[in-house]
Structure formats: structure tokens, C-alpha cells
A and B are shown apart, each in its own frame.
Chain A
Amino acid sequence: MRYKLLAAIASIMVLVAVLSVGCTTTDDSDSSATRLDTVTERGNLIAAGRTDLPGFGFLREDGSNAGFDIDLARAVAAAIFGDGSSLEVVPISAAERGPTIQGGEVDVLTRNVTWTTSRDAQWGNFTNVMFYDGQGFMVRANSGFDHATDLNGITVCVTSGTTTESNLADYFRQNGFSLDTVVFEDSASVYGAYEEGRCDAATSDKSQLAAIRSGLQNPNDHKILPETISKEPLTPAVPHGDDSWFDLVKLVMYVLVNAEELGVTQANVEASKSSDSIPVRKLLGVEGSFGQADVGLSDDFAVDVIKAVGNYGEIYDRYMGPNGESFTLPRGPNELWNNGGLIYAPPAK
């Protein structure tokens, strides 16, 4: 009797365990369906993002995902579902970026990913560059270094296993400089070592240097050198094989940029519907069309997008503007093209 009972309990426990693994297996396979159909049917957009990068993808105290990259994904969710809440962010490690987008496991990859030619060929389709980053150096303000070309024979703190480390080595070899590197696992350790004075300079993408600098005790005692030694165009990517989905995500990115260019903001988007400007009326779906129906979106999807996350500049300022939530970084190359920057989108026509 006792053993029967134990056996029954054991089998219940096994059942729960099997259930837990079995049930969590989701299967939305239907090879003939387009990704938009799959997303609509599922009821949410799945984006691969980060949870540990200031400004781009982090967790708020209430557990919600926030950041520049996250808002780009939220914009796509808002375009499809009318509001940005139907978004599921899957945190993945750097090594998983390729496989997740290659396997089509996520709908969009907005995980601080640099668009390179080989990734474009192997991983998926890269949409529109949304942030121009590049590797730079941070030094102490009183160190006497004003340019990256002065940095001969110094000790540099760097994170391991990333392109950052190889870019650094390449740059010093090219210039014939001698270099000592101190390699760390993550940016918090680089920060600690730099703060303690174990290295003369820290290197990382400039946006991250700005973040680290603002965390230092006296940010003004440190400066970021003007030179940029690598090109890091951060670009949302989608899986290969669904052109219409690729176009849809690109269209949403273009809307964010065009909205800033046309002065449409979260605050004035409703009022802008009755604007006299024809490009504004077009963008907001009041008249004409710029391809919304062709990718499967409603005519006024831009209104939902801007209501949910604002235009490009608003997203930028929310996290990295003068009163940004994470840190402050002058827009530099991320200004609009007509303001001396590189951010550009095809006209919405």
C-alpha cells in the first residue's frame, strides 16, 4: 500500500515535470503562412533584445524592458497591433544572435547588432541603420592625450571576445604603436579597472564609453577622444526569406525617421492629422498612400507608432538625450541628414 502510494506520487511528480517541459513547447509552424500572419495569429511580436546595455536595452525596476533598441521593436509591434504592449522581448546572449535570426526563432533582432556584410549574407536581412556607433577611447582629462594618434605605448582596458578587442589590436598594429591590453569579461569590470587607474585608457563603442563615463565619480575628469576606429552601424535585422516582412520592418523604421524630419511628435500627432503639409498628411495616412497596404499595414499605422514610441529623435532623447534616462550622448552622426548627421530615410511616397 505504502509503495503504491509512493509510486503514485512519484508518477504525479514526473507528470508535472513532463508537462512543464512539454507544454512550454510552442509550435507556430505553418510553412505557407507569411511571418505577418504568424505574428498576427500569435498576438504578439517576438524580438530578441538585451537586458544589460545602458541606453539600448535594460530592465526597469518594475521589470519592464526599456531602451533604444527595445523601442524600435515596440514601434513594429505598434504598427501591427495598434499599441506597443504586444511585444515580447527575448533576452539572448551575443553568441545566439546569428542562430536565433537564422532559424527564424524571433521576428526581429534588435539586439545592438552591427550590420556587417558577412552577417547580412549569413544571418538575415538588415533593415535600416538606426544608430551609427563606432569604437573610441576614453582617457583622463589631465592625461595629455588629445587624439587617438597620441596613444603610443599605453595600457588599455577592453572587454574580451568581442570585435572591440580585435579592432584595438588592428589599430595599434597599423600605426606601429606598442600596446598593453588588460582584458575583462564585461563593461562593469572595465569600468572598475579604469576607475582604479589600472589602465591609461578604456576602449569600447562610443555610446558605451559615454555610459561608463557618466557612471564615474567625476565625469568631467575624463574625456572621450574624437577619433573613431571602427564602423558600427547598429541595425535591426529580420530573418531571410520573407520579403514582405522585411519591407514592413523597414517601412516602420522609415516612419520613425521621417516623422522627426517632418516635426511629428508623440504630443502633436493627433493635431498633425489636420496639418496643411502634404507630406505630414501622407505620413499619417490622411491622404494618399506610401505602401502601407502593400506590406499589410493599416493606412494610419504611423499614428499608432508615433503615439507608442514617438519619432526617432524622441526615442533617442528618452534614453541618451540631455535628460536621458540612461546617459547623455550628443547625437553626432545620429543627427538627421539635414542637420549634418547620417540618419536618412527614403521619402514616404
Chain B
Amino acid sequence: MITEQERSIFSITTSIYNWVRENLFSSPLNVLITLCVFPFAFYLFISSGDWILNKAEWDAITRNTRIFLIGQYPQSELWRIGTVAFITTNLLGISWHLKGVVFQRLSLIILVPLISVILIPPIFLDISIGLRSWFALVSMGFLLGYLLSKFQNLSTRVLLVSWSLSMIIDFILLRGIEGFGALPYVSTNEWGGLLLTFFLAIIGIMLSFPLGIFLALGRRSNLPFVKGACVIFIESIRAVPLVTLLFMTLIIVPLLLPEGWRLDRVGRAIAAITIFSGAYMAENVRGGLASVPVGQTEAAKALGLGPLLTTTLIVLPQALRNVIPAIVGQFISLFKDTSLVVIVGLLDLVGIGKAVVLGNVEYIDQQAEVYVFIAAVFWVFTFSMSYVSQIIERSLGVGDR
């Protein structure tokens, strides 16, 4: 007689057996391929695991965690970064109940690494108590927001406004106000690490998206001057590499400005990233615009809508929905492109990595570790972006009409 437990074990083993047979050994050729690839994959897995756990030394990262996260942001103003992180996780918690799973998945993506860093004992992960308690506080922010949403379900509208407002508050908090004692000005020169990478990416996305839409609409305009200007702008920006634009804004601009004028370096980098990404965004949006059937515009006209309303209410929403994958792809590449600012001396995540490895003799042999770490960080964020975009696509029904 077979007991219930044995039966379930049996069924699991048969299902594994079936899966292996169907997927790995279904034909003589597949058997051959499996036999060739498997030892190689196994070796790769073992050797990379061995490297990560035994051979690699991670103290270049654990001892410099702070500058990897926030660069040279002053010690006395750390609470401002903490507050910004707290506000963000708090809003995530409050948004947990919203329809769809976007915010829940987003929260998990952020919280799981945070909490695991707090919980890994010091012998395995040598980072300071201070940092751990900051992480704990930020996680508490989420819990607080989550509990709040249990008592009072805020509407989507209120939450959208809160998210937008929080961006303004975050920015003012981080930058400070000149001549205001409680919030002294922190020059963007001192922003660095992941903070700067995020800042460049978020501001770049927020600016290049509307710019792209305007350029795309301009390119489809009937006015020859507007159309011509947009075409020239888009085509000339797309014809040069981002690196060239960065060099232009950072090196040539100071030579053209009058003596003594200073333009913020981070601002210049953002300008380069924005116009570059805006030009590509414009072409994505134009693709979306072209995909909207002419009948839609004609129907809108028949209903008596003017050109402005036709565009904003009928054409754009459909156009943008159709090109979400392309737009998110552009956001992801913008996020990764921010790492190019390192060649003009800004200390983003890659810049800090470079400074740590090259500037300290004791870490000079940990180059591989530092770049593996940076790659992992980039992977986590770009993967989250594409994952969230997939959820949004599914909820909007892109692809199935």
C-alpha cells in the first residue's frame, strides 16, 4: 500500500522525470546537446559560486557602502536622505492596496534586499550598525504606510497627487535652500553613487518623456517651420553618440560662456541625457502615433473635438499605450546610459566604483568584485523596470485587441 506522502513524492519525481525527458532528452540531438552543455553549465555555476563565496574579497564594497549609496553627501545631512527614503517606502506601503499588483511587486523588489541586508549577521556582511538601522527605519516606513492604508483607503487620485508632491519635497529636501539654516544647500557636486544615478535617471526620464511627445507631435505637424525644426533636432541628435553630447555640454559649454559663469555640472549632464533620450523617445512616440487609425481622428472631428482635444484625448492615449514596451526600453537604456557620466568626471555609481578601486592602493586588486557588484545593482533596477512595465502592459491589455 502506498501512503499519501509516498504518492505525492512519487508524483513529484515522475513530474520531474517527465519534464527532464520532454525538455532535455526528447531526441538524439537534444540528448547530445544536453550532454555537451550540462557539464559546462555546471562548471560555470560551481566556479562562479566558488569565486563569489571564497575567492572574492568584498571589503572594497562593504567598507565603502556609504559612498556607493550616496557619494559625498555631507555626514551632518544624512537625515535628509533617510527622510526621502522613508517618504518613498511609506508611500509604497500606502499604495499597497491599489488595484493591480504593480505597487505590491515594486514594494517587494525594494524591501526584500533591504530586509535581507539588515538580517544577514555581521560575520557574513561587514556593514556598519548605523547603516543597518537606517535600512530598518526605511523598512519601518513601509510598514507604517501599509498599516495606514488598512485604516484609510486613499483613492488613486489622492495617491497620484501625493506621489507627485513627494517628488518635489524629495528634491527640495536633498538640495536644500540657500541661506536657510535648517536645510543648508548641498551642491550637486556632492551628490554621488546610487543617489546620483537615480537622480540623473529620474529627472532624465521626467524631462525626456514630454520632450519626446512634443517633438513627435511637432514632426507630424502641418506647419513647415515646426516640422522642419523638429526633424532637424531629432535627426541631428540621433546622429551623434551620447558621449559626444556629454563632452559638448561639459567641455565646450564652459568655453563658450562668459568668464566666471558657472553652470552646474550635474545639470549639464542632465541636459545632455535629456535631449539625447528625448530624440529617441520622439521616434518611439511617432511610431505610436502612426499606429492610431485615421478613423479615430475623423471620428473625433465628427464629434466636434478641436485639434488639441483630438490629440490629447483620442490620439495620444492610444498611441502611448501601443508603444509602452518601446518607451520602457528607452527608459531602461537611459538608466544605463547615466553611467557614461563617469567619463566626464561625475561620481555616479560607476564613478564611485572607479574612485574606490583606483584611489586606494588596498583595493586595487578588487576591480572585478566592484564591477560585479555594480552590474548586479544595475541588473536589479533594470529588471524591476521591465518587470513592472510587463505588469502595466498586461493590465492595459496591450497586444490583445
From 90 to 144 in chain A, residues with beta carbon under 8 angstroms from any chain B beta carbon are: 90-93, 95-96, 99-100, 102-105
Among B70, B73, B247, B358, the residue within 8 A (CB) of A188 is: B358
B175 in the interface (beta carbon within 8 A): yes
- Binary CB contact string for chain B from 252 to 294 against chain A (1 if under 8 A, 0 otherwise): 1011011111111111001100000000000000000000000
Q: Is the CB of A21 within 8 A of B271?
A: yes
B349 in the interface (beta carbon within 8 A): no
Q: Is the CB of A28 within 8 A of B360?
A: no
Q: Is the CB of A191 within 8 A of B365?
A: yes
Label chain B's interface by main secondary structure: helix
A-contacting 9-mer, from B35-43, B44-52, B339-347: B339-347
Given A59-B355, A99-B255: A24 and B267 interface contact (C-beta under 8 Å):
yes
Q: Is the CB of B367 within 8 A of A189?
A: yes
- CA A326 to CA B75, docked complex, whole Å: 23
A-contacting 9-mer, from B19-27, B59-67, B112-120, B225-233: B59-67
A211 in the interface (beta carbon within 8 A): yes
B327 in the interface (beta carbon within 8 A): no
B24 to chain A, nearest CB (A): 38
A33 to chain B, nearest CB (A): 8
A-contacting 9-mer, from B87-95, B161-169, B379-387: B161-169
- CA A265 to CA B160, docked complex, whole Å: 60
Q: Is the CB of B72 within 8 A of A64?
A: yes
A9 in the interface (beta carbon within 8 A): yes
* Contact-size category for B: 35 or more
**B312 proximity list for chain A (CB < 8 A):** 3, 7
B250 in the interface (beta carbon within 8 A): yes
Q: Which residues of A contact B (CB under 8 A)?
A: 3, 5, 7, 9-10, 12-21, 23-31, 38, 50-54, 57-59, 61-65, 88-93, 95-96, 99-100, 102-105, 186-189, 191-192, 195, 211-212, 214-215, 239, 241, 326-327
Q: Which residues of B contact A (CB under 8 A)?
A: 63-64, 66-67, 70-75, 157, 160-161, 164-165, 167-168, 171, 175, 187-190, 192, 203, 206-207, 210, 247, 250-252, 254-255, 257-267, 270-271, 312-313, 343-347, 351-352, 354-362, 364-365, 367
Q: A3-B313, A25-B263 are in contact. List 11 more A-B contacts (CB 8 A).
A: A7-B312, A13-B164, A21-B270, A27-B262, A28-B260, A29-B260, A52-B358, A59-B72, A59-B359, A88-B189, A92-B344
27 A-B pairs within 8 Å (CB atoms) are namely: A3-B312, A7-B312, A9-B164, A12-B167, A12-B168, A13-B167, A14-B207, A15-B168, A20-B175, A21-B207, A24-B175, A25-B263, A28-B261, A29-B260, A31-B258, A50-B359, A54-B359, A54-B360, A54-B361, A59-B64, A63-B71, A63-B74, A88-B187, A95-B251, A99-B254, A186-B358, A188-B364
